């Protein structure tokens, strides 16, 4: 049984990957400071509470657990916050990744999967965007993730034993099909979650940021990927690395985009609630459109997404929202 250390595994995406790893028979240890994660979300393995910035805690866990590979989720992820607090993002995302990589090298752990983002592309010239597109992030969040990708690239060049896969997520949404886990942030910023919380009465209105983009209806376009499909991509990336596969970068998305207005319409249809939407000015750091070309991960790892359906994505998120609000 292979041992997998998952940093940030009590968070939204991390917990779904931990669930998938458990279902595939891996022995999992989750290392999470629970700043945004939740103990109840860890459905497989065991949880050790700790911070990736704490080298002593990392050394203790690595000495005891001796993982075969590490999947690194722990990070700050709010684009608008990164613009307001850039140093927080370079510390939490880049500096802590460096600390983790130094610890892994000291303990001889040479298989690594990194939770990256489509934000590394900034405002791409061509849509859909592929992995060869220039990295031109327009906010500190994207830049902090790009810097970690560069750390991984250079480490792999310096150490032939070290192999990694960086998965560039597009917009992750939805919840576990079994309705056991889902998004549970105190202050969620994801559009679908905010829309559903508005439908449930948590918020009086949904803010729509920017109506003058160069898109068909003037609102931002995003590629939404169901969290269970993203979890399956992590399992395939892990299997590849453990089998001796080469380092790689992959986009994770469906290759189709939906505008903010289209998402709002689907949310209203699924919930049956005609909630209030307030149009606001653009937010700093938001690109007009981000849609993935994910043909590389499909051809290389055999990834076959099962939930490429916006209504299914919103439906699972709505079932989860009803569960946590008791409705």
Hey, which residues are catalytic here?
141
Phi, psi of 318, rounded to the nearest 5 degrees: -70, -40
Q: Give yes or no for a contact between 266 and 314, defined as CB atoms under 8 angstroms apart.
A: yes
Question: Could you give the CA distance from residue 303 to residue 252 in angstroms, rounded to a whole number?
Answer: 10
Cβ burial, residue 25 (10 Å; 0-12/13-18/19+): exposed
Closest CA to 16 of 30, 33, 2, 35: 30
223: CB partners within 8 A, 6+ apart: 118, 128, 170, 171, 253, 254, 255, 256, 257, 258, 290, 291, 292
Angstrom CA distances, 117 to 105, 114, 141, 307, stand at 24, 10, 9, 20
Question: Could you give the CA distance from residue 229 to residue 234 in angstroms, rounded to a whole number?
Answer: 9
What is the enclosing helix (H) or strand (E) of 269? helix 260-271
Q: Give yes or no for a contact between 262 and 55, defined as CB atoms under 8 angstroms apart.
A: no
For 170, what's the count of Cα atoms within 13 Å in the CB-facing half-sphere? 28
């Amino acid at each position: 049984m292979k041992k997998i250390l998952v940093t940030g595994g009590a968070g939204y995406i991390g917990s779904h990957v931990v669930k998938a790893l458990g279902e595939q028979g891996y022995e999992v240890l989750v290392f999470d400071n629970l700043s945004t994660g939740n103990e109840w979300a860890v459905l497989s393995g065991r949880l050790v509470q700790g911070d990736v910035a704490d080298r002593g805690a990392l050394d203790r866990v690595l000495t005891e657990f001796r993982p075969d590979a590490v999947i690194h989720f722990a990070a700050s992820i709010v684009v608008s916050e990164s613009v307001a607090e850039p140093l927080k993002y370079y510390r939490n995302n880049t500096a802590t990744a460096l600390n983790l990589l130094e610890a892994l090298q000291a303990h001889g752990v040479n298989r690594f999967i990194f939770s990256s983002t489509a934000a590394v592309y900034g405002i791409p010239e061509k849509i859909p965007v592929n992995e060869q597109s220039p990295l031109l992030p327009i906010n500190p969040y994207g830049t902090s993730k790009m810097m970690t990708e560069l750390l991984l690239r250079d480490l792999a060049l310096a150490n032939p034993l070290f192999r990694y896969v960086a998965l560039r997520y597009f917009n992750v949404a939805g919840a576990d099909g079994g309705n056991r886990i889902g998004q549970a942030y105190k202050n969620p910023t994801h559009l679908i979650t905010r829309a559903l919380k508005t439908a449930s009465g948590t918020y009086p209105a949904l803010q729509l940021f920017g109506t003058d983009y160069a898109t068909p209806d003037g609102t931002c376009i995003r590629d939404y990927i169901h969290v269970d499909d993203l979890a399956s991509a992590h399992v395939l990336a892990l299997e590849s690395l453990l089998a001796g596969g080469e380092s790689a970068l992959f986009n994770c998305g469906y290759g189709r985009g939906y505008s903010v207005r289209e998402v709002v319409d689907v949310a209203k249809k699924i919930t049956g609630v005609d909630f209030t939407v307030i149009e606001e000015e653009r937010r700093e750091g938001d690109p007009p459109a981000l849609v993935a070309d994910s043909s590389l991960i499909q051809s290389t790892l055999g990834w076959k997404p099962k939930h490429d359906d916006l209504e299914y994505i919103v439906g699972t998120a709505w079932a989860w929202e009803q569960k946590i609000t008791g409705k």
